Structure 1
């Protein structure tokens, strides 16, 4: 019952405030580990890597060493934002032709069904997430090592950063309620592969219940090998061999050479100005550009909230995100392998052109991509250290346990990011050897446009919800004057699957205790001038939006957000922290 009440937001959560440092994650035990690293003299990057390792133990149904990582790092001494792309590539031997041939053999019916969906006119439309070809090189381990090497404090070794998570895995931890729910929900994925996910199940073969202690000694061993051996200890030794072996047994083509050739990309972040702040994202292959496109169009339309009421406000946000996704789903691809016109897409002239498509009275349910040039599931968390450095970090398997394929003796499942490749040879995001796929995970960093000082570090994990969450959270902070916790707790919407014509999931708001006990939400909404969600839903439907109201655990569709906002009080910084009630976590500050 407590988990259900939490999802219905029955208890009010105040923001957590501190003046020195702060950590906000989706798991209290991970938050504690981040705080411990900071108190031992580590900086924000050290703490972030230790937190990421802990979350791989605590939430294997969301993240793991078989996945990827992205990071934005605000360096206080220079007021510079650095971007780290720790996503992996497709195997060198995986051509489009090989993939289509293998998928057609595995699913004969798919070939006939795919004639109208691309894929060169034959073969399946997508790579199934349980197929070995969906597994790209896991980039998280290298990303952790390289981030600590480049930006860490030097006060702690990689082994010391891995050890708290290794102890959790070895000694066991009580599984949090919402995590237990999703672990069970995605258990079917662990039926994939020769090892059947045994390391991620209880000894009797079931998933752990809330409060039940779960141990993962295999994962403890992997973390310690990574800590002592670094990149080579993960990709070049028995762990790498186990990954290659399980995939090749299933018909995959990943090799040790693919693992050893992997590199972390340190790239220039992309950004736009919005409402007096500068918003930073990692450039494509990450989908952060969708948030920036939407903010640019929103700025063109006017960022001040209208007097038209809640339906008009939501309509505007939904429409600018539809326009942004129409472009992102086409143009977002590996910039080393495809032409991505980032500068043109983020130009205000293009935003003005796209803004002209906005109709304040009706939904645009068939939005097409624009032409910016004439020629043509997841965990996330925030850390701010006592030096003023900040990290926005995302680490993910994708779609729960990813592929569900577990290398023998490793205690983690392999991601399925290759499912985001397009099997259409004309598409920028078409599968190709050694190419990174369209990636959903996106951290976000926000600075003052006037001073360059940190304004906030934030994320909203959850596949294609992530850029939508960034836009909604920023709107709550900047346009509606909410504190970080209120901005997170406020009801959100999600355009499903990140498709420009997708249905819109919408949370009801402000249920009272009696209604929650009866298993329903009230239509009131006192904090919105008495405008209840039923009236808002009706008005949005009248405009042409396909609205789906979601409740209870279905609210996971809105992702889980974390925010640390920096304000000043009499010359002293005050860190305002929020952590999402849609997850199990919390923030701490001191």
Structure 2
């Protein structure tokens, strides 16, 4: 879609409309992005909520980064967790302080034109009046039944009552509403977010934690602050690719692109074994570094600059051969998500928030609609690992907003949600745009691959069979995935000669609208 006044692209049409309403009311891209983010907590609860974390990249003539991820509880029982082979997936031990509300507030205070309360109106309407559940959300909700319905602990019962009324997930087209969610949003709006971190909502969370064996307390919430950070970047064939620095794994995309830059991908067709093979192998080499080194910046043992060094990328590039790598080690010494983009004539916003694994921890604070994420699941229990679980620490984070620029001019915002698919989706979007000259919609819809581990690779069923066979011949263990969500869901808004070009892919229910 093309336009010049403003654009919004999200995974949910109702959320896209919320952003457009803000633009038509005289707001800017920041207002639109915040309104979308808030609305998505209602209309796509399978991926995010009020209890999410969030990150953003904002262009206003230069690029700014916002890290609104929260830290683990100061009273987390670390020793007990370290005795397990890995972190639990559900329950209080996985809950860190949710940062999404602090992201909304920080963006509004810095760039917003409309009153903060105005940005909540569409979401409150959807929560109170209800909305018809869309197809992809219904599919995700149905899949979640097997995870959450069997839970018997007292801490999980409010969550089940709200999201699985009658003991099942809502079906496509059924109206779902959450009045308590609306009440909570009103409290956050009227208090400029203070109710969540130092008021009645913080009290409710701390009280429920105390009653059901949780670890978060008032001090954890009162000390939370979203952090403005310097984005990190590399140049890829003349285009600067930007990511949020660790504790996110956006750096994986940059490492992989540095490695790929030594190959001329344009000599091969986009959907060819040669192009896919090189991208997959570069991604493997990037992920081994990320898995070994990325953590809360305070505990990282290798500098970001070293991980992004072009000379180091050249050294690692030589490990790529005609067949799939099956065992790789770092070259250094050991040491459910929603994405949205919004733009106007002056601002461009790349924003992402998530409950991590689908609905998150399975814990919902009674009478509030606040479903808490399970981001602590990404901590390591390996002794001495930089990402080892600890009190008051930010965990490794999978959610990453992306941004592109050329020289001192913005090219645009992009993102692909989907856990560990996200850096892989970012890589494929950049390759599609830069090496193959695709427009945003075509770049988003093009067939995707996903590296899993070792030489295991998932391919979309739309990948040509001859490519799949040829990758198998190169020792990739290929599986075709029937579920489109395995390959992420992305949005993109680019700017060219003051024209905004927006896309929202077909793997989600969403859409892009341009004014």
Q: Same fold (TM over 0.5)?
A: yes
Q: Which residue of 2 aligns with 1:503?
A: 456
Are positions 1:393 and 2:378 aligned together? no
Q: Which residue of 1 aligns with 2:513?
A: 588
1:24 CA drift (Å): 0.4
- When structure 1 is superposed on structure 2, of 298-307 and 396-405 the one drifting more is 298-307
CA distance in 2, matches of 1:271, 1:284: 12
- Partner SS for 1:129: coil
1:231 CA drift (Å): 2.7
- When structure 1 is superposed on structure 2, of 155-164 and 342-351 the one drifting more is 155-164
Contact 2:247–2:397 (CA under 8 A) maintained in structure 1: yes
Contact 1:199–1:218 (CA under 8 A) maintained in structure 2: no
Q: 1:164 aligns with which of 122, 131, 145?
A: 122
Contact 1:96–1:423 (CA under 8 A) maintained in structure 2: no
Which stretches of structure 1, 4 residues or more, deviate above 6 A after TM superposition? Answer: none
Q: Which residue of 2 aligns with 1:147?
A: 107
CA distance in 2, matches of 1:203, 1:50: 27
Which digits, 9 at most, give the CA deviation of each residue in 1:483-504, with x for residues without a partner?
Answer: 11111111001112xx4x2621
Q: 1:41 aligns with which of 13, 19, 26?
A: 26
Are positions 1:336 and 2:265 aligned together? no
Instruction: Summarize the alignment of residues 362-373 of structure 1 with structure 2, pairs less than 5 Å apart.
Output: 362-371=323-332
Are positions 1:534 and 2:459 aligned together? no
Q: 1:445 aligns with which of 385, 403, 406?
A: 403
Q: Residue 218 and residue 188 in structure 1: after superposition, are their counterparts in 2 closer, same or farther (change >3 A)?
A: farther
Q: Which residue of 1 aligns with 2:90?
A: 130
Cα root mean square deviation, aligned: 1.7
Q: Which residue of 1 aligns with 2:209?
A: 247
CA distance in 1, matches of 2:272, 2:212: 51
With normalisation by structure 2, the TM-score equals: 0.96
Contact 1:70–1:443 (CA under 8 A) maintained in structure 2: yes
Which digits, 9 at most, give the CA deviation of each residue in 1:30-49, with x for residues without a partner?
Answer: 10110111121212111111
Max Rg structure:
1
CA distance in 2, matches of 1:495, 1:198: 33
Q: 2:273 aligns with which of 294, 302, 311?
A: 311
1:189 CA drift (Å): 4.1
Which blocks of at least 5 consecutive residues in structure 2 are unaligned? none
- Partner SS for 1:272: strand
Q: 1:484 aligns with which of 427, 440, 448?
A: 440
Q: Residue 308 and residue 36 in structure 1: after superposition, are their counterparts in 2 closer, same or farther (change >3 A)?
A: closer
Q: Which residue of 2 aligns with 1:4?
A: none
1:308 CA drift (Å): 10
CA distance in 1, matches of 2:88, 2:187: 31
- Partner SS for 1:87: coil
Contact 1:200–1:412 (CA under 8 A) maintained in structure 2: no
Q: Residue 43 and residue 502 in structure 1: after superposition, are their counterparts in 2 closer, same or farther (change >3 A)?
A: farther
Q: Which residue of 2 aligns with 1:22?
A: 7
CA distance in 2, matches of 1:489, 1:149: 35
Q: 2:139 aligns with which of 172, 177, 181?
A: 181
1:198 CA drift (Å): 4.3
Are positions 1:466 and 2:422 aligned together? yes
1:416 CA drift (Å): 0.5
Q: Which residue of 1 aligns with 2:310?
A: 348
1:203 CA drift (Å): 4.3
CA distance in 2, matches of 1:376, 1:416: 26
- Partner SS for 2:298: coil
- Partner SS for 2:351: strand
Which digits, 9 at most, give the CA deviation of each residue in 1:200-222, with x for residues without a partner?
Answer: 33643322111111111011011
CA distance in 2, matches of 1:358, 1:139: 39
Contact 1:71–1:443 (CA under 8 A) maintained in structure 2: yes
Q: Which residue of 1 aligns with 2:341?
A: 382
Aligned length: 511
Q: Which residue of 2 aligns with 1:561?
A: 490
With normalisation by structure 1, the TM-score equals: 0.84
- Partner SS for 1:136: coil
1:97 CA drift (Å): 1.2
Are positions 1:91 and 2:76 aligned together? no
CA distance in 1, matches of 2:271, 2:137: 36
Are positions 1:59 and 2:44 aligned together? yes
